[in-house]
Amino acid sequence: MAVTPDTSLLDLAGVGEQRAKKLEKLGLVHAGDLLTHYPRDYEDRRQIYTIREAPLSQRVCISAMAAEHPRRTRIRKGLELVQVKVVDHTGALHLTFFNQGYVERAISSGEDYIFFGTVEEQGRRRTMVNPVFEHLGRQSFTGCIMPIYPLTSGLSNHLMASLVRQVLPCAAGLPETLPQHIRQEHSLAALEFALRNIHFPQDEQALDLARRRLTFEELFYLSVGLSFLKHRRETSQLACAIPARPKAEFLSLLPFAPTDAQSRVMDEVAFDMSSGRPMNRLIQGDVGSGKTAVAAFAGWLCARSGYQSALMAPTEVLAEQHFRSLSALLSPAGIRVGLLTGSLTPTEKKKVRTQLAEGEIDFVVGTHALISQGVVFRRLALIVADEQHRFGVAQRSALAGKSESGGMPPPHVLVMSATPIPRTLALIIYGDLDISVIDQLPPGRTPVETYVVREDKRQRMYNFVRKQVAQGRQVYMICPAVEEAAEEAPIDGPWTLSSPAAELKAVKTYSEQLQRHVFPDLTLGLLYGKMKPKEKDATMSAFARGEIQVLVATTVVEVGVDVPNASLIIIENAERFGLSQLHQLRGRVGRGKHQSYCVLITATRSAEAMTRLRTLASTTDGFKISEEDLKARGPGDFFGNRQHGLPQMKLADLSGDMRLLSEAQEAANRLLTQDPALSQPENRPVLQRVRQMFADTPDIFN
């Protein structure tokens, strides 16, 4: 049967119902999906060694003849061995296969094979365990550059590679979607060549050509799609024009003078909202730079013109904090601020929903409850989303729909992010947004002092915790894990200050150890992501009220409530975190009038990791830190699993491919200048690919 891109994977050799379900977990349903399931790495298996010359303790290919028929031995139930000796002119190699009974039939005495595995030495015997093997002269997975694929439980790399080999012939029938003139201008390989060589490269040069073509293509379609998003916003939609007002009237409400950066961003917001086009603006600024004051200004402008605003926060505790600060700021001006969260009683929720529908609330603060059914606004004109990485395009769109369902034009959107992102990357991640940067901290804020501390100073660090608590301050202690591995010491077992040094600190166990052995007289709290939302909120609220002296937590506090009395944050296994995340965590302290400290504890022996941690200790500039983080880890780790609502890149590495990104953006701009709607026949395939890529982004082409 000829394989086409639409062929079901169930029709391929080696795929039954169970495997098909596992492949579907990776998003693989049809043959065409396998073509774009790109390798995450490669293993060079081209060099073939003799048995005696093969280097030890690394994976290598050896050419040898089976000197005997394989012997199968059953050791016990669930464990059997197949053993066979293979030879060449330099010596013998003893192979052992665990629970691979088929090997007894697959290897025949006197025949030549290539074996791929790790050679070890036991005395004078050379051994190899569970090698991959193929008949000499009939190789598919040895003597080549072997792709290493992203996998899921129950799927082997060998299976994935064999499935890709089965479907590769259908690459020949795929139509070229990149216009010919773009391929020529940018020296890009043909699609069939690129697909064959991204999976099974002839050599390093062919792999580079394949990767360049496919990466350019991804970045090009992304750039075209983002241009459509921006163009649609700038030309096709009208919004409420909110008249600008004298800024001094609002500034008189503030208990402080705004920084120049805050004032500049307020002007940008006022200009956007008065333009008659929907504002879509991202405000980036470090923790404490005053983003909320800008959001309050935007809400104030709306309320003054008779419109409503909504601020969506990622947690109930943060929503309540915004509610309190906005109420204190705006209530004196007669602006009615409301709160809508999941923990309100049914009666309270009903009352707030009625007030929103009647227009009796000017500025509502809430969580995802704001986008639930039954929430109707009278005149919603502004959405503020706090911490963009928690709210993708889809959630913004759902909230925007609340205004449109009330007969209003699309609302203005203001996104606040405390994650400083290098501008080049921000232009891609937030391609549908204009970007404002608040790059000044308010005067009088004392920078947090940051120290990198080795394990041998642990006792001194615990003494410092006591000192801070004795002065009436509070402390965060952050762990990278939730639970210990099964084999680690029980809580009741022998425990010393130094015993957990080399282990990954786990928040549950560590919290109990600290309470029993280190701080039995202090009030400790525990906070981690899988706790019930009500438990999390109760713990965070108790910490905010000062009822908990030391909060032992995971990074769930990264986007957290203001606790001005917290003056110390200790981060265990600090080398496990990205710099940007450490910077975010450090922002939990330094919010009050007391000198604050961040202590990074590490047992790492890596010079590179220590350099990264010292970078954090030497600067509080979030943008400088994010540039370093991007260089070290790439954007995949930089954003973790955060959903920003735009297409995920399969190949493009936005830190390493900036030059290619620039080329792709230029090519996209030139093409759209010549054919803005991509209506010419040779450009329609581009439009189709962009539609596929942005399938999850609402209304891009409306």
CATH of the domain at 392: 3.40.50.300
CB atoms under 10 Å from CB of 27, counted, come to 9
State the amino acid at position 673 in one-letter form: T
**How many distinct structural domains can be found in the chain?**
3
Strand intervals (E) in 50-123 = 59-66, 71-76, 79-88, 91-98, 112-122
In a domain, 56, yes or no: yes
Query: Which of 405, 438, 471 delimits the end of a domain?
Result: 438
Q: Which residues contact 673 (CB under 8 A, 6 or more apart)?
A: none
- Residue 450 CA to residue 599 CA, distance in Å, equals 6
pLDDT value at residue 468: 96
The list of the chain residues with pLDDT below 50 reads 389, 484-503, 634-645
What pLDDT score does 28 carry?
93
Same domain, 594 and 522: yes
- Residue 237 resides in a domain: no
The verdict on residue 64 lying in a domain is: yes
Do both 423 and 531 map to the same domain? no
603 and 572 belong to one structural domain? yes
| 341 dihedral zone (left: phi>0; alpha: psi -120 to 50; beta) | beta
Query: Using one digit for the tens of pLDDT, what is the confidence trace for 579-599?
Result: 878 888 898 898 888 899 999
Burial class of 380 by CB neighbour count within 10 A (0 to 12, 13 to 18, 19+)? buried
Q: What is the CATH number of the domain that holds 93?
A: 2.40.50.140
Q: Which residues of 416-450 are buried (b: 16+ CB within 10 A; e: fewer)?
A: bbbbbbbeebbbbbbbbbebbbbbbbeeeeeebeb
pLDDT at 397: 64
Tens of pLDDT, residue by residue over 186-238, are: 999 999 999 999 999 999 999 999 999 999 998 899 888 888 877 766 665 67
In a domain, residue 654? The reply is: no
| Rounded Cα distance, 311 and 294, in Å | 12
In-domain check, residue 240:
no
Together in a domain, 602 and 529: yes
Specify if 80 maps to a domain.
yes
The pLDDT, as a whole number, for residue 363 is 96
488 and 533, same domain (yes or no) = yes
End residue of a domain, out of 593, 619, 645: 619
Q: How far apart are CA 239 and CA 298, in angstroms?
A: 15
| pLDDT at residue 195, rounded to an integer | 95
Q: Are residues 328 and 477 in the same domain?
A: no
382, 474: one domain: no
Same domain, 581 and 474: yes
**pTM, 2 dp:** 0.60
Residue 457 covered by a domain: yes
**Does residue 416 share a domain with residue 459?**
no
Domain boundary, last residue among 619, 638, 671:
619
User: Which strands, in side-by-side order, build the sheet including 550-553?
Assistant: 449-454, 597-602, 566-571, 474-478, 550-553, 524-527
Q: Do 267 and 340 sit in the same domain of this protein?
A: yes
Answer yes or no: do 461 and 588 share one domain: yes
Is the domain of 454 the same as that of 590?
yes
168 falls within a domain: no
Residue 601 lies in domain: 449-619
Distance (Å, whole) CA 544 – CA 414: 27
